[in-house]
């Protein structure tokens, strides 16, 4: 059926408005990214990559003095997920604060220990709590602990983090395995390249290991645990996002949002670690169905989810 002139004019106007809105959103995202990278306090004039890499080696040596565990797998536990270590045969616990000059976690629900031991017959190292960019640490400090775990021998990194869901098909209390990310925090690779770790310009395609994702999916199905998959966006925080920002991220195709983990995935991929990121969906992102998130809600839900997370990891670890 042919449209009359009025209908065509209305349709053209609607499509025009949609196209302009999409351009504005994309422009806004790029602007925000640039702002953050410009305001990064890591400049090549202040970042001494040789001294930094020596710190990585020194911390690894201090940990080796305290334990015979040579971890194959490194796990980072997000907010409220620290109880995971109860399922481990723990050999050694090393508080970050016992390592001089080591970045120490100030965020709620982050205990701040390296825990070394075995799980499902594999030697593993667990970070019971992480540090965040929003705590005032530059990205290079945020990823220092994982570089230490790599130095100790870990070839695989499993990240876990509390997130809000933007995708209304994904419910709080379920998980999402990350397929790809958008990172709004500054890169941890800024500054002179640390050649001992990896190359200067690395492609980020396939940064998240597809085989680990498939294995995890099989495990989740077997145990009746809901595991979604999708695109994650790391914001800077510490404030939760505005509903307008969440709407922008939704238009950009993001399923979940959080304040950590993408920076770590970049650094781990740089040093050729296999990476798997399991999002624990603790809440609807701000504005989704009118949601107003709170730290209490995030803590409470992640504690409830720790049991299922242990089931997933318990089965995944022997397959690595």
The residue ranges that bind ligand HPA (CB under 6 A) are 162-164, 240-241, 257-259, 282-283, 285, 293, 298
Is residue 148 a contact partner of residue 56, using CB atoms and an 8 Å limit? yes
Q: CB of residue 241 vs ligand HPA: minimum separation in angstroms? A: 6
Using CB atoms, what's the residue nearest to ligand HPA? 164
Minimum CB–partner distance for residue 111 and ligand HPA (Å): 18
Q: Which is nearer to ligand HPA, 163 or 178 (CB)?
A: 163
Please, is 188 exposed, middle or buried when counting C-beta atoms within 10 Å of its C-beta (0-12, 13-18, 19+)?
Answer: buried
Q: Kindly tell me which of 90 and 182 has the beta carbon lying closer to ligand HPA.
A: 182
Least separation in angstroms between CB 178 and ligand HPA: 14
Min. distance of Cβ 291 from ligand HPA in angstroms? 8
If the CB atoms of residues 198 and 243 are measured against ligand HPA, the closer one turns out to be 243
* CA–CA gap between residue 225 and residue 174 (Å, rounded): 7
Q: What is the DSSP letter of 221?
A: H
User: Which residue(s) pair with 124 in the sheet?
Assistant: 73, 117
Q: Can you tell me the distance from the alpha carbon of 185 to that of 36, in angstroms, rounded to the nearest whole number?
A: 7
Shortest reach from residue 285's CB to ligand HPA, in Å: 4
DSSP string, 58-120: HHHHHHHHH-----SEEEEE-TT-GGGGGGSEEEEEEEGGGSTT-----STT---EEEEEEET
- Taking the least distance from each CB to ligand HPA, the nearer of 80 and 138 is 80
Q: Which is nearer to ligand HPA, 300 or 315 (CB)?
A: 300
Q: Any idea which residue has 């990278």 for tokens?
A: 37
Question: Are 212 and 276 in contact, with CB atoms under 8 Å apart?
Answer: yes
Q: Which is nearer to ligand HPA, 297 or 314 (CB)?
A: 297
Nearer to ligand HPA, 88 or 162 (CB): 162
Q: Which of 264, 277, 16 is closest to 149 using CA atoms? A: 264
Minimum separation from the CB atom of position 107 to ligand HPA (A) = 11
| H or E element that contains 157 | strand 156-165
Q: Any bridge partners for residue 274, and if so which?
A: 156
Cβ distance to ligand HPA smaller for residue 154 or 288: 288
Q: How big, in percent rounded to 5, are the helix, strand and coil portions of the chain?
A: 40, 20, 35
- Alpha helices by DSSP H, 126-285: 139-142, 144-151, 210-223, 243-251, 262-270
The token pair at 144 is: 């220092």
Which CB, 7 or 294, lies closer to ligand HPA? 294
C-beta separation of 163 from 279 below 8 A: yes
């Amino acid at each position: 059926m042919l449209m009359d002139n009025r209908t065509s004019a209305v349709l053209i106007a609607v499509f025009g408005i949609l196209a302009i809105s999409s351009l504005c959103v994309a422009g806004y995202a790029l602007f925000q990214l640039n702002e953050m990278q410009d305001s990064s306090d890591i400049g090549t004039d202040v970042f001494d990559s040789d001294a930094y890499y020596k710190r990585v080696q020194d911390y690894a040596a201090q940990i080796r003095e305290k334990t015979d565990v040579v971890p194959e797998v490194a796990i980072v536990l997000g907010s409220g997920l620290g109880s995971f270590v109860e399922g481990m045969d723990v050999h050694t616990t090393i508080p970050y604060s016992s390592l001089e000059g080591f970045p120490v976690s100030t965020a709620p629900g982050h205990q701040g220990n390296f825990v070394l031991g075995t799980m499902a017959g594999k030697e593993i190292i667990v970070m019971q709590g992480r540090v965040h960019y929003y705590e005032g640490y530059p990205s290079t400090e945020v990823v220092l602990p994982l570089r230490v775990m790599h130095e100790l021998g870990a070839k695989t990194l499993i990240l876990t983090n509390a997130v809000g869901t933007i995708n209304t098909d994904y419910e709080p209390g379920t998980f999402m395995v990350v397929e790809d990310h958008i990172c709004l925090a500054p890169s941890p690779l800024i500054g002179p390249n640390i050649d001992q770790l990896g190359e200067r310009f690395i492609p980020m395609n396939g940064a998240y290991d597809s085989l680990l994702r498939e294995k995890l999916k099989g495990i989740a199905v077997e145990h009746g645990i809901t595991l979604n998959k999708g695109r994650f966006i790391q914001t800077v925080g510490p404030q939760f996002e505005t509903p307008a920002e969440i709407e922008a991220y939704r238009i950009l195709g993001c399923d979940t949002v959080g304040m950590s983990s993408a920076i770590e995935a970049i650094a781990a991929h740089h040093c050729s670690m296999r990476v798997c990121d399991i999002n624990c969906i603790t809440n609807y992102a701000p504005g989704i169905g009118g949601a107003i998130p709170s730290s209490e809600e995030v803590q409470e839900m992640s504690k409830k989810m720790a049991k299922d997370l242990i089931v997933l990891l318990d089965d995944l670890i022997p397959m690595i």
